[in-house]
Structures are given as C-alpha cells and as structure tokens.
Structure 1
Amino acid sequence: MNDLFKQIGVHTMTHDGYALTSDHLATETVVKLSDQDGVFTTLLATPTQLPELLIGHCTTEGYDLSPAAEIEVMVSGDGYTVQAIDFTVNEIGKSRPKQIVSTSCGACNSPGVEDLLSNLPIYTGSHRTIELSWLNQSFEIMKAKQHGFSKTGGMHAAGLFRIGEKDSIVCEDIGRHNAVDKAVGTCVSLGQNMNNLVLLLSGRCGWDIVAKSARAGIGTIACVGACSTLAAETARALGMRIYSFVKPHRSIGIGYIQPAMKDNP
C-alpha cells in the first residue's frame, strides 16, 4: 500500500456528461504525536516518515525532544500514533504543549504581532551568496522528487539544500507545515548542521514557516509562490532572508541579501 496517495473511483464530468473512472488522491489522516505522558499534539497529515515528522515538529515548534529518543509508530482505526518512548516532551521554557493542529494552522491563537516575534531566536549563522541558477536547479531537483504531487496534484513539498551543492532532503505531505517538519526531522536524524541550509517550498511562505525555520536554525527560505507581509517583517527582524517567486530569470529577495544592501524602504 502506498501511504502517499490512494486510488479511488470517481466520476469525470465533461460536456458530454459523466463517466466512471479513477483518480489518485493525497492521503490525509489523523496523526497523534505523543510521549510517555500521552498525546501532546494532533495533526492532519500524510502517514509517511512519521518518526521524522515527530522529531521535526518538536524541533520547529521549540520542544525539547532528544534526537536519540526511541520512537514507535502505532496504527489504529482512527489514525496513527507516533510516540517518543520513555521521554516527556516539554516546550522549552514553558509548560507541556496541548493543541490540535490542522494541515494549515498558522498562529491562530496568538494575541498580536509582538507576541509572534518575542519568542523567536535571532539567526546567528552565516549567509552565503546564492546564485539564481542554483536556486532554479535546486527547485528542479525537488520537483523530480515530488512523486506524490505528480500523482495527485495535491501535495506540498519542502526541501533542504546546502548552498552550492546538489544533495538534498525532499519530503511531501498534504500539509505544508508537515512537509517542513519531515524535512527538518530527517536532517536532525542524520545529524546534519542546519547552518547554510536553504529551505525550499513548493508554495508560498507565511509567518508560520519563517517561525519554524527560525527555531530550527535555518536562515534562508526560497519559495515558488508569494511571501506574506508578516513573513517578510519577521525575516528582517530575525536576520533571515526569503527568496519568493523564484523563476528562471528573476526572484524577489527579502531580508538579509548582501551586507551593503537594505531592502526595507
């Protein structure tokens, strides 16, 4: 069974009427993240790379899960449970998290912009020069690895690329946050340094992805879609950079681009 997508019977509608056929749909199910004290987060996600999803979610949300924690995946009638064995997950500096997150959560419970920025770390890593040709080549590499999207047209992808290199981590999920978490979790599991990694997104970049990147120690984000105002404001405040609308001959740079350039008129 392919957990990325499922083939189901559907009707196609044309000017000539309806016809019975089949289509591939992206898999979406309930995934509960838990530790020895029980469930602390419930996601709607695609049930692939679930240990990496747990590790990455904890990393990008500021939870103190050890990369060495033993992780078990359990399947039940109502979805999947991914558990960190003999370990209690706590939000760094705060009490234990308890929340339900959909495939596109954002910062729904935040009281305001200042609160969104107050608990995010400043990026202290280096910023290497990025060539537009390398960005486009990296997006082509990621596209070739988007097997779920090629079948369904309905899955997000996130990739982690080291500047100037072709080696990459590419993950897919029905939720763009989950795709990012899986990519980060894979990187953490492999013991790789986040410095000089670029996070590639198959869609847009909002505040939530900038926040996840900041907590993971990733200073550069590139996306084929748009960047929101709050994402731009946050990237500038944290010393990060975003390349949006990446195309063969042009991209929009926001934040720390070059030491002598300021992009905030």
Structure 2
Amino acid sequence: MLLHHPVQNSSHCSSNFLISIDPKSNQLDTLSMCMSYGKHVGVNRVSNGSTFIDKDVLAFESLLQIHVNDERITSLLGTPLQLEQLYVGHLFSEGYGDFRETKITLSRENELSYKIYGHGELTKETNLPTLVTTSCGACDGENLLELNKGIQHFIQPHPEYNHNELFAALQDMKSSQLGFQQTGGMHAAALWNHEEGLQCLSEDIGRHNAVDKSIGHALISRIDISKQFLLLSGRCGWDIVAKAARSGIGSIVSIGACSSLAADTARELGLRIFSFMKQDSCVIIGGLTHFLNENP
C-alpha cells in the first residue's frame, strides 16, 4: 500500500520559495513536506445543546496554476500536496500531452497560491485559461454534444474482477485516507488491480484533482494504467469518466452514485462503472464484456 505522509510541523518553511523536481527521481514532494493536510482554525462548536470555543482542522484549498512553456494552461482550486503528480496527471487526463519526463518547477507564492511550471510539446490547442473549482471538473465545451469529441474509446480487454475484492479495495482506500481522517473534507482516488493491490492513493479537496494525482503518480511510476481499476471515494460524474478514458483506464469503482452523463459517456466510449459499491451489491453501467448484448 502506497501512502503519502506530509510532515505535520510547517514552521520551518518559508512563505515564498522555488524548487525543481525531476519526476524520474522518485523525490518526495517538497511542498508536501512543508505542511499538513489542513489548517487549525478557531470555531464555535455546538454539542449536546452547549456552545463552546474550540479549534478544528480545515482542509487546505489553494489556487494552483499550471504552466507549460511559460503559458498558463489552467488554474485549479485544490489541496497543495503531490503537485508534481497533479501536474503530470492533469495535463495527461485533459489531453494536453505526456509530461512525465519533464522537470517540474514549483513556486509557492503564499499559503493561498502555487505555480507549477514545466516545458514540453502540447498535443492539444489551449484556450483562454480557465478556473476549475473544487466542486466540479472543467467543462469548456459550448454544448454537451461536443464533450466527448476527440476522446478515445477504451478498446483493451477489461480486467477480470471479483466483487468482494473491489469492495475490500475501497475499504482499504478509505482506511488509508489520512487527509480525510484529519479534516473530514477530502476526496480520495486510487488505482487497484488483483496483482498489485492498492496503488497511487491520492487525496484532494477536489475529486477531479485526486484523480489527476493518482493518474500522474501512475505515469511517473511507469504503471500500466490500462490494467487498473480507478477507485473513487465519492460519486462519479462526466469529468471523471472523461479523464479515465483519455488516460486509458477502462474501469471505475465508486462508493457513490453515477451521473446520467457519466453513464452515457461510459457506454459510448466502452468503459464500465461500478457505482454504489457495497459489500453485497453494486450497480454496474457499461461494458461487462465487449459483446453489445451484455452491455446494459
């Protein structure tokens, strides 16, 4: 099981710094070493009819700007951890190209703003920079019919699965969510298959960012992503299905519901979604096999 452990004490870190990370070096994210998953704040807590002053840990949410060749591609609102994985995974899952070999420079402006730089060949035309919130993924198409344009179909054989193993994998991921345990406010994503088990666990206040981080981790680690199940701690929307398809992932397992557009897209692109995964039940949408009459 692969976990990410940030250092709890951040007092030694300067508010402004610039570092470079070579993804091939397996170097721990230096920015992550400078902070916990959340920030201690004073709150009024209500319990059993009484109100008292207390403190709580709130998940960090910062502006994360992604730059390629000195051009700002997008701005994300997310948790400033595993930023090199986020950079590689976001650009790959959004169709901008493969940047796993890129030397990445991280710039911390302050607690609320980070810039991530890299250089390489863009395989997708860039539009005006967008701001992607933590509540949903990017949706820059002019209408819904254009959303799936250019996204490749999943044509690899779907890996075999066992219901009990999939449920156990989700439970394993849940018990390993240190950020959620600390703040109660972070989503998780991970990759899993029968041979290697749980891999590339990532957390973020935005579910799509958590997916990007898991995908980026897999790319940097040279994991065959087509043989993996993508695990989600919450619901599965269109943006997650699109990211999975662009990245070559054919199977998604979610604790929560699947949206109608996610279901339609999964069926169109040859993916399958295991939603509402419980110990003794789940709802499967998309290809059980490649035979159309078995694809509900």
Compared CA separation, residues 165 and 13, structure 1 to 2 (3 A): same
* Equivalent-residue separation in structure 1 for 2:58 and 2:156 (angstroms): 40
Query: What is the alpha-carbon distance in structure 2 between the residues aligned to residue 126 and residue 262 of structure 1?
Result: 15
Q: How does 1:143-162 map to 2 (within 5 A)?
A: 143-162=174-193
- Identify the match of residue 80 of structure 1 among 111, 114, 120: 114
Aligned pair in 2 of structure 1 residues 108, 68: CA closer, same or farther (>3 Å)?
closer
Instruction: Report the CA distance shift for 1:164/1:243 in structure 2 as closer, same or farther (over 3 A).
Output: farther
Match of 2:224 among 190, 193, 207: 193
Greater Cα offset, 55-64 or 27-36: 27-36
Distance (whole Å) between structure 2 residues aligned to residue 169 and residue 197 of structure 1: 11
**1:53 paired to 2:93:** no
Q: 1:182 to 1:174 in 2, by over 3 A?
A: same
Matched, 1:102 2:102: no
Structure 1 residues 231 and 16: alpha-carbon distance in aligned structure 2, compared to 1, 3 A threshold: closer
1:68 corresponds to which of 101, 106, 118:
101
Contact persistence 1:3–1:46 (CA under 8 A): no
Deviates more, 1:63-72 or 1:193-202: 63-72
Query: Partner residue of 1:172?
Result: 203
Q: Are 1:249 and 2:280 an aligned pair?
A: yes
Mapped contact 1:221–1:242 kept (Cα < 8 A): yes
> Aligned partners of 1:66, 1:201: CA distance in 2, in Å?
24
SS of equivalent residue, structure 1 residue 124? coil
Q: 1:107 to 1:35 in 2, by over 3 A?
A: closer
The 2-side partners of 1:160 and 1:97 are apart by 32
Mapped to 2, the partners of 1:166 and 1:106 lie a distance apart of: 27
Q: What secondary structure sits across from 1:203 in the alignment?
A: coil
Tell me, in whole angstroms, the C-alpha distance in 2 between the residues paired with 1:251 and 1:107.
Answer: 28
Q: Secondary structure at the match of 1:246?
A: coil
Which residue of 1 is the match for residue 294 of structure 2?
A: 262
Residue 202 of structure 2 aligns with an amino acid whose one-letter code is C
The Cα RMSD (Å) is 1.7
How far 1:207 sits from its partner (Å)?
0.5
Q: Aligned to 2:226, what secondary structure does the other structure show?
A: coil
Shift in Å, 1:98:
2.2
Give unmatched runs, 5+ long, in structure 2: 1-9, 11-34
Counterpart selection for 2:56 from 23, 38, 55 = 23
Alpha carbons of structure 1 residues 95 and 79: separation in structure 2 relative to 1, 3 Å: closer
Mean Cα displacement is larger for which, 53-62 or 144-153? 144-153
Q: 2:121 and 2:98 mapped to 1: Cα distance?
A: 6
TM-score by length of 2: 0.83
Q: CA separation in 2, counterparts of 1:125 and 1:131? A: 19
Q: How many residues align?
A: 261
Matches of 1:56 and 1:167, distance apart in 2:
18
Q: What per-residue deviation string (whole Å, max 9, x for no partner) do you get for residues 225-250 of structure 1?
A: 00011111111111110000000000
1:222 aligns with 2:253: yes
**Larger mean Cα displacement after TM superposition, 8-17 or 146-155:** 8-17
Is 1:111 matched up with 2:142? Answer: yes
Deviation at 1:95, TM superposition (A): 3.9
Q: Does 1:41 align with 2:74?
A: yes
* TM-score of the two chains, using structure 1 as the length reference: 0.92
- Cα deviation, residue 93, structure 1: 4.2
After TM superposition, give the deviation of residue 104 of structure 1 in Å.
2.5
Q: Is the 8 A contact 1:3 1:48 kept in 2?
A: no
**CA offset at residue 17 of structure 1?**
3.5
Q: Secondary structure at the match of 1:9?
A: strand
Segment of structure 1 superposing worse, 111-120 or 248-257: 111-120
CA contact (8 A) 1:239 1:256 kept: yes
**Which letter does structure 2 place at the counterpart of 1:46?**
T
| Amino acid of the structure 1 residue aligned with 2:36 | D
The SS at the match of 1:254 is strand
Corresponding letter in the other structure for 1:183: S
Equivalent-residue separation in structure 1 for 2:130 and 2:188 (angstroms):
24
- Percent of pairs identical after alignment? 38
